[in-house]
Every structure is written in structure tokens, then in C-alpha cells.
Amino acid sequence: MSEIIETTLKDKNPISSKAFNSFKGYSSKEGLPSLEKDIYSIIRKDQNSFHKKPSLSLKSKKQPPKLTDRDLLLLELLEGYGVLSTQQIRGLIFKDINTRTVLRRLRILKQRGFIYSSEGLPNGSLAWVLSKKSAKIFKQDIELKFINKSSLQHDVAVSGIRIQLERLKIAKSWTAEHVLKKQLISSYSPNESYRDYQTRVSLIPDGLFTTNDNHGGMKTIALELELCLKARHRYKKIFLKYREKKNISFVWYVVLNKSFGELLSRLWDKYALHAWGNCNFAYSTLNEVFREDFKLPQGRKARYRNEEKDLE
């Protein structure tokens, strides 16, 4: 027995299983002196710790990767534009990068809850908007754009017009529809009648931007993208309200074709001719806007027409 104890004290490593079993058998039959009992407990404790598995609680949890500068730029663009298609995002910040790679990154941001997508575009592309989680990044009360599938194509087209005007350096500053809506709602005063409030909120353009005028100053333009013809009485209300706007130089309609634009032009002359105000009218076709040599048209006043034309 003393030989086993001496061997154990000399070796720092745990004893062999054979020596341990003989040591264990001896202790169970004859008992051990107090000193030998203490040494036996130390040996047993060391052997148990030698075979003990590491605790799972010591493993560090994997932290999610931080947002890159490009990710933050994307979130900032979505906050300003409201909604962007995959191709528009690729053209703005993922130039010369494969579409599959762009989609892979967008889906990662979607899985992490920063953005979400919607289907409904004619070419099968996806539209992307900010989620509520992204508001924490900006640390301010931003206005989120909610996707309406019935107007999704319209909203993406408005973003495309804005990208084109900013690329051609025509638009100097831009306020999107969802931002304008928030500003109007937050400006409600208890002293204002509900009817006046509804009148203000009912006239929100698709975009409001500033551009250079011919005198070296700046003028404000209200954009209206018109893809479908409305009822004639609705245009009457809209045109009369725009005519009263003092801070808007002219309302600019972007339409599908010239016949559509000429119809709106005749309606403007009919309803705005005798209305008081300074706001004027202009229109362009969608194909004209996306030409490389595009120039913003000049707004014109309502004019009298000698011949009565069919406006139906």
C-alpha cells in the first residue's frame, strides 16, 4: 500500500486504472489510515476531473455580424425613397455586381429583420422597404413606407423618375410622398377645422422637389405620375387645389403617352382658367423622362380655347 502512495506522490499524472483498482479493493476490505484516506480522496478527485467534460455554459454565444457601410447606405436610401426595386438598388449602390449577389445580401438583411420585400412587379422583380427595426438605427421617428400591391408599380416608377432626375442633376432636393404625408399629419392644429385639415391632406403629390429657375433661383415642382385616367370631377378638385398653392411653381404630370397628356392639358385649361392662384401646369411622357437628353418642361398658365373639344 505504501508503495502505491509513494508512486502517486512522485507522479503528477493520475495513477493507472490497475493500481487504482487494487488501491480501491484494499480500502474496501481493510480500511485506510487517516493520512492514506486523504491521499486516496485526492487521487479519486483528480481522476474524476481528468475525465470530466467541459461545461456547455462556458461556450461563448456567436454574435450576429455588424452592418457594413453599404448596408447602412441601403437603409438610408430606402428611408428617403420609400420603396426600391432590386434593379434600382443594384444601380444605386451595387454597381458592377451580379444580381444574384445583390439578392443574397438583401435576403440576409431581410432575415435579420431590417427590410422586407413584396412581389407584384410586372417583370417578377421584388420591391424592398424598411422595417420597424431599422428605425432604431436612425434613432429618430422616421416615416415607414407601407407596401400597397395595387400601387406598387406606380411607387417603384416614382422612385425611378427620382433616380433619373437626380442623376441628370435636375432635382436638387426631394421630399417623397410618405414623408409629406407625415409632415401634414403632424402639423394638425386643434384650432383647425376638420374640413380644412382633410383638404390639406387630400392633396399630396407623389413627390416634391426643387430645381433651378431661369433667374438663378430655385423653384418647387409637384410631381404627379398618372398611369390611369381618373374621373373628370376628381381632376377638377385636384386642379383647383393646385391652382391655389402659392409655394409651388407648377404641377408636373408624367403620363404614358401624349394623348393622355393633352387630355389633362385641356382639363387644366377648362378648370384652372378662372381660378385664382399662381400654380401652373406641364406634362411629359414616361419615355421622354428616361432619355439622356431630357429637360424639364416649363410650366404654363391656363389658356382659353376657342374650340370646344370632347373631354370625356
CATH number at residue 94: 1.10.10.10
Nearest one of 143, 207, 137 to 171, comparing CA atoms: 207
- Sign of the torsion formed by the C-alpha atoms of 77, 80, 82 and 83: negative
49 within some domain: no
| 264, 300 contact by CB (below 8 A) | no
Kindly tell me if the per-residue pLDDT of 264 is higher than 60. yes
- Domain identity same for 28 and 79: no
| Res 188: pLDDT | 67
Based on the fold, state whether residues 226 and 311 are members of the same structural domain. Answer: yes
- For residue 61, the model assigns a pLDDT of 59
* Residue 62 is assigned to a structural domain of this protein: no
Q: What is the secondary structure of the chain as a DSSP string? A: -HHHHHHHHH--SPPPHHHHHHHHHHHHHH---HHHHHHHHHHHHHHHHHSPPPPGGGSPPPPPPPPPHHHHHHHHHHHHHS-EEHHHHHHHH-TTS-HHHHHHHHHHHHHTTSEEEE---TTS--EEEE-GGGHHHHTS-PPPPPP-GGGHHHHHHHHHHHHHHHHTT--SEEEEHHHHHHHHHHT--TTS-HHHHHHHHH---SEEEEEE-TTSSEEEEEEEEE-SPPPHHHHHHHHHHHHT-SS-SEEEEEESSHHHHHHHHHHHHHHHTTS----EEEEEEHHHHTSTT--PPPPB-----SS-----
Region of poorest pLDDT, from 38-42, 94-98, 146-150, 219-223: 38-42
Average pLDDT on 255-269 reads 95
Which of 147, 162, 197 is the endpoint of a domain? 147
Q: Same domain, yes or no, for 157 and 295? A: yes
Q: How confident is the model at residue 3 (pLDDT cuts 50, 70, 90)?
A: low
pTM of structure: 0.74
Q: How confident is the model at residue 144 (pLDDT cuts 50, 70, 90)?
A: low
My answer on whether 139 and 33 are in the same domain is no
pLDDT given for residue 43 in this prediction: 52
Asked which of 4-18, 38-52, 117-131, 279-293 is least confident by mean pLDDT, the reply is: 4-18
Same domain, 174 and 205: yes
In this structure, the answer to whether residues 132 and 160 fall within a common structural domain is no
Asked which of 129, 147, 165 is the last residue of a domain, the reply is 147
Mean pLDDT, range 141-168, rounded to an integer: 87
In a domain, 51, yes or no: no
Looking at the structure, tell me whether residues 159 and 299 fall in a common domain.
Answer: yes
- Residue 61 in any domain: the answer is no
Which of the pair, 123 or 60, is modelled with greater confidence?
A: 123
Residue 312 forms part of a structural domain: yes
- Residues 107-127 have pLDDT tens digits of 999 999 999 999 989 888 999
How confident is the model at residue 45, as a pLDDT? 55
Query: Structural domain of residue 312, as residue ranges?
Result: 148-312
Asked if the structure places residue 308 within a domain, the reply is: yes
Same domain, 189 and 176: yes
Residues 136 and 77 in one domain: yes
Same domain, 117 and 30: no
16 pLDDT higher than 70: no
Q: What percent of the chain has pLDDT over 70?
A: 71
Partnered with residue 284 across adjacent β-strands are 254
pLDDT of residue 20: 45
Instruction: Judge if 173 and 311 occupy the same domain.
Output: yes
Res 62 pLDDT > 80: no
